[in-house]
Structure 1
Amino acid sequence: MDESWWLAQLKALESKAQRLETLNGLNTAINKSAPSKQIARRVLAAPELYECAEIGGSDPAAPKDGMVSATLELLDRCLHLMAPETGDVELPRLLNRGLTHTNPAVRSLVLNLLHRELLRQVHSGQIQQLPNNELLFLVLDELKQTETEASAVAIQILSIVLIQRLNDPGVQAKLVQLLQQNEIVRCRAYELAVNLSKSSASSLSYVEFILDAALSELDNDDVLLQASVMEILVPLAEQNHGLSYMERRRVFDVISNRVQRLEENPLDALLVPSIMKFFGKIAAVQPQKIIVGYSHMLVCLFEQLQSEDETILPTALDTLPNLAGTPQGKMLLHLNFQPAMERTMIKYGGYTKKLSAPIKVRLLNSLDVIYAMETMPPTKEIDNVLRGWYEAFAGGLQTNYIMDLINTPFPDLQLAALALLKTLCKYRWGVEALRNTGGAVEFLLSRQKDLHKDVKFLKWEILELLSVSPEFTPTETVRFTAYVNEGPYHIQADLNIATEPQGSA
């Protein structure tokens, strides 16, 4: 189609009666033959196009769903064809209607386009300088919207480009405005500030007033808001300058004191799971800081793990692997909390018999992380620590508890138990434990047809580990190798031996 046809179609959009037919025609044409970048920009500049995407509620004259979806399709294609460059001085004018539209789906299209372009620039190592603040302000305004559909993308965009202009007075004023909004908008501002702070100490200094506002929320009476803020603050500790800021503001002391003073404010008990999660996630990146510096938090965690209370166990089960997920964390727990770890592992063994199925899955996933190692083999010290913890869990070197869960009719439990067994078989003592368990090897070598395909695959992966283990006899190794060579989904042929009836002599 030549330029005159496209311009005629845009003219036809002025007639409300012709809009749906025109939009369908434009979409058909654009799917057959993509127009030029200039035509795509002309389409995006047409105000009538954005009227077609408005959602009018009870207004009988408002665009119907079919028209809205046809408009979104056309907008999406044209946005891709226009090939945006964030350094283009005309870009804010071109995207203004989309970024300020009342339909959040339209704003999402534009924001996703910008995000993809910025990711391309990041990967190429050449992030374009913004010519002015206009585009930034349009994206910042998205954080004030009541809908959440596009706010996450807006935060990702701003986390990339806002660093260029953090010292700009206009940008600072816009950020201050966000702190004067409702708690949802404020939390978006806190998340943005944390993302920006991670890049450098200099960036942190420009948004420190936002981080300070986030910390002030911890004195709020709203438990859900406090929990949200703690969740948002966790990534700040990933960098040393972020951790230094949190230490200067005594963040860990303020939060941990809530646990120590529960008797004074019983409502704070509602916050304990969130506080445990906060300290656990910090410990995943700063194990020394938490395990050694805030021992009373770990005492509280171990109490929760002994509680048998299924309302708090999920968070506690998720927190322990954060503490024990790194080699340093494992050793620190062994040196500082070995008796508590052994009691916890013994309790875990009992939990495999009594907890509900979803909590058992959580427990198995927790153990899988605890026994996993980023690099194999582990040091001799860590290997001994993990062996001791496992023996406390299993009551010796055997895998009866795990095999009992594998033999349940629930695929989720089977998969979680097999995943843990696979991790254990990366250790010599883990292979020994499996070998000591009656029926375990036979189950792995069986070709049961009714098993879930993922269960079959995990069995195959475990046998692949066993096939190179020195713990088995040559005969057993041959059987393992044959199974592995046949593949995880091999079906054994049924052998029907026909016998010819003997006739009378």
Structure 2
Amino acid sequence: MEESWWVANIKALESRPQRLEALTKMNTAIGKETALPRQIIGRLMTTAELYDCANPEVDSQTPKDQAVDVALELLGHCIDQLAVDTADEQLPSLLGRGLAHPNPALRSLVLASVLKELRRQLNAGQVHTLPGNELLFLILDELKQPETDSSSLAINILSIVLVQRLSDAGVQAKLVQLLQQNEIVRCRTYELAVVLAKGSATSLSAVEFILDAALSELDNDDVLLQATVLEILVPLAEQNHGLSFMERRRVFDVISTRVQRIEENPLDALLIPSIMKFFGKIAAVQPQKIIVGYPHMLACLFQQLQSEDETILPTAMDTLANLASTPQGKMLLHLHFNLAMEQSFKKYGSYTKKLSALIKERLLNSLDVIYATETPPTKEINSILKTWYESFAGGAQANVIMDLINTPFPDLQLAALALLKTVCKYAWGIVALKNTGGAVEFLLSRQKDLHKDVKFLKWEIMEMLSVSAEFSPTETVRFSAYVNEGPYHIQADVNIATEPQGNA
């Protein structure tokens, strides 16, 4: 299309009755163009009336939703053809209206395009230097918006480009402004600071004032806000410089003291699950720090695990799984809390008979995390896991797991089979299965009414049994035949026909 055609249709947007027709024409045309001239794209993206069309709140004589959808599609084509380059000095003026637009769908389109370009630059090994702060400020303003999806995109973008300008006075002032907003905006700012701080000690130093503001929230009376901040802070401890910062600020000591003095402020009891989750997630990456350094936190956790309280058990179970998820965590728990671990696993065994299906499923998932290992376990770890398993199962058998497999709850059945598969990675797990009456027969059965995921897990377990030395050659042949038939094999019904005998 000639430039005059585009100019005429852009001009038509000034007349509300003509808008839908003009939008439709341009959208159809741009969809057929592989590359419009830059001046046409620029003209479209700086036309105020086009952005009015994309705003559901603007009164219009055209069908609202239809006009909005077509305008969004047209702007999406424009952004795709723009060839976004964050070093382009014209970019803020081209994207500014979209980034400040009241329609979150449009802001998401623009943000997603910027993020895509930045990730391309990252993959190429060089992120272009921004020509100024204007684009940054527009993206930082997204953190003030009520929509979550767009703010997540903004945080991802800022985590890449903000490093370039963290020491800039204007950027610092903008971040301070965000800390003066409501708690949702503040928490997004804390999340951004944690992402940046993880990158390097230098970046952490630049956002230290934000991290200190986050820590000050832990003295807030709002338990939900405190829990949210604890969740946000967890990744900070994944890097040694982040852990050192938290230790300098005595974060772990302050939080654990609150648990010890729970009687002085009963409301803090509401925060204990979040505190446990906080310590547990950090223990997954820094087990020595938590398991050895804060024994009273572990004592509190083991007390929760014995409580039979379904409101706190899920978080407690997840926390134990985090503590025991690494080889080092398993060793430290065995060395310092062996009796408590065995008692907890024994309690888990009793829970499989009396708690709700959802809690049982959570229990099985947490056990799966504990028994899963990325590398072959050492002889010592293998022995520890065997002892823990037998405390859970009540001996060297798998009746507890098989009872859960035979429940009418599909999700629970799948979780039990997944745990059985994980346990069968160990020789003692296969022995436990072999010692369980009816277990092998169930795995070999070809029940037609089973869910396809159940059938597949059964087949995967049978694949493990077929290469195990624990079974006789005859059994191994049967297992191999099952495996070769595949997970979804259907046995043919055998009908024996008999001739009716006539009267003699």
Q: TM-score range by the shorter chain?
A: over 0.9
* 1:50 alignment partner in structure 2: 51
* 1:142 alignment partner in structure 2: 142
Give distance in 1, aligned partners of 2:112 and 2:492.
53
Give aligned pairs, total.
503
* 1:423 alignment partner in structure 2: 422
Instruction: Give the secondary structure class of the aligned counterpart of 1:291.
Output: helix
* 1:182-201 matched pairs, under 5 angstroms: 182-201=182-201
Please list every run of 5 or more consecutive structure 1 residues that lacks an aligned counterpart in the other structure.
none
* 2:398 alignment partner in structure 1: 399
Query: Is the counterpart of residue 12 in structure 1 residue 15 in structure 2?
Result: no
8 Å Cα contact 2:20-2:62 kept in structure 1:
no
Give distance in 2, aligned partners of 1:141 and 1:239.
29
Q: Which amino acid aligns with 2:57?
A: G
Q: Which amino acid aligns with 1:467?
A: S
**Offset at residue 45 of structure 1 (A):** 2.1
8 Å Cα contact 1:305-1:344 kept in structure 2:
yes
- Post-superposition Cα deviations, 1:445-498, rounded to whole Å, max 9, x if no partner, equal 100000000000100111111111111111111111111111111111112222
Q: Which amino acid aligns with 1:249?
A: R
- Post-superposition Cα deviations, 1:72-120, rounded to whole Å, max 9, x if no partner, equal 1111122111110111111111000001111222111111111111111
Give distance in 1, aligned partners of 2:63 and 2:134.
30
8 Å Cα contact 1:371-1:424 kept in structure 2:
yes
**Offset at residue 501 of structure 1 (A):** 3.5
8 Å Cα contact 1:53-1:67 kept in structure 2:
yes
**Offset at residue 132 of structure 1 (A):** 1.1
8 Å Cα contact 1:98-1:110 kept in structure 2:
yes
Q: Which amino acid aligns with 2:273?
A: P
Between 29-38 and 188-197, the greater mean CA deviation after superposition: 29-38
- Post-superposition Cα deviations, 1:307-330, rounded to whole Å, max 9, x if no partner, equal 000011111111111000000000
Alpha carbons of structure 1 residues 145 and 62: separation in structure 2 relative to 1, 3 Å = farther
8 Å Cα contact 2:236-2:243 kept in structure 1:
yes
Give distance in 2, aligned partners of 1:11 and 1:120.
36
- Post-superposition Cα deviations, 1:371-405, rounded to whole Å, max 9, x if no partner, equal 110112x1000000000000000010111011011
**Offset at residue 26 of structure 1 (A):** 2.2
Segments of 4+ in structure 1 off by > 6 A?
Answer: none
Q: Which amino acid aligns with 1:45?
A: T
* 1:277 alignment partner in structure 2: 277
* 2:104 alignment partner in structure 1: 104
Give distance in 2, aligned partners of 1:147 and 1:407.
44
- Post-superposition Cα deviations, 1:356-382, rounded to whole Å, max 9, x if no partner, equal 011111000000001110112x10000
Please list every run of 5 or more consecutive structure 2 residues that lacks an aligned counterpart in the other structure.
none
* 1:474 alignment partner in structure 2: 473
**Offset at residue 500 of structure 1 (A):** 2.8
Q: TM-score, normalised by structure 1?
A: 0.97
* 1:131-210 matched pairs, under 5 angstroms: 131-210=131-210
Give distance in 1, aligned partners of 2:485 and 2:318.
37
Instruction: Give the secondary structure class of the aligned counterpart of 1:48.
Output: helix
Give distance in 2, aligned partners of 1:476 and 1:428.
17
8 Å Cα contact 1:37-1:81 kept in structure 2:
no
8 Å Cα contact 2:19-2:62 kept in structure 1:
no
8 Å Cα contact 2:194-2:211 kept in structure 1:
yes
Between 27-36 and 412-421, the greater mean CA deviation after superposition: 27-36
8 Å Cα contact 1:52-1:63 kept in structure 2:
no
- Post-superposition Cα deviations, 1:212-255, rounded to whole Å, max 9, x if no partner, equal 11111111111111111101100000100000000000000111
Give distance in 2, aligned partners of 1:149 and 1:492.
49
Query: Is the counterpart of residue 362 in structure 1 residue 382 in structure 2?
Result: no
**Offset at residue 503 of structure 1 (A):** 4.9
Q: Which amino acid aligns with 1:15?
A: S
8 Å Cα contact 1:55-1:62 kept in structure 2:
no
Give distance in 1, aligned partners of 2:147 and 2:391.
50
- Post-superposition Cα deviations, 1:154-212, rounded to whole Å, max 9, x if no partner, equal 11110100001111111111111111111111111111110000000000001101101
* 2:232 alignment partner in structure 1: 232
8 Å Cα contact 1:54-1:63 kept in structure 2:
no
Query: Is the counterpart of residue 486 in structure 1 residue 503 in structure 2?
Result: no
* 1:388 alignment partner in structure 2: 387
8 Å Cα contact 2:197-2:203 kept in structure 1:
yes
**Offset at residue 61 of structure 1 (A):** 5.8
Q: TM-score, normalised by structure 2?
A: 0.97
Give distance in 1, aligned partners of 2:443 and 2:392.
22
**Offset at residue 502 of structure 1 (A):** 4.3
* 2:80 alignment partner in structure 1: 80
Instruction: Give the secondary structure class of the aligned counterpart of 1:86.
Output: coil
Aligned-residue identity in percent: 75
Q: Which amino acid aligns with 1:301?
A: L
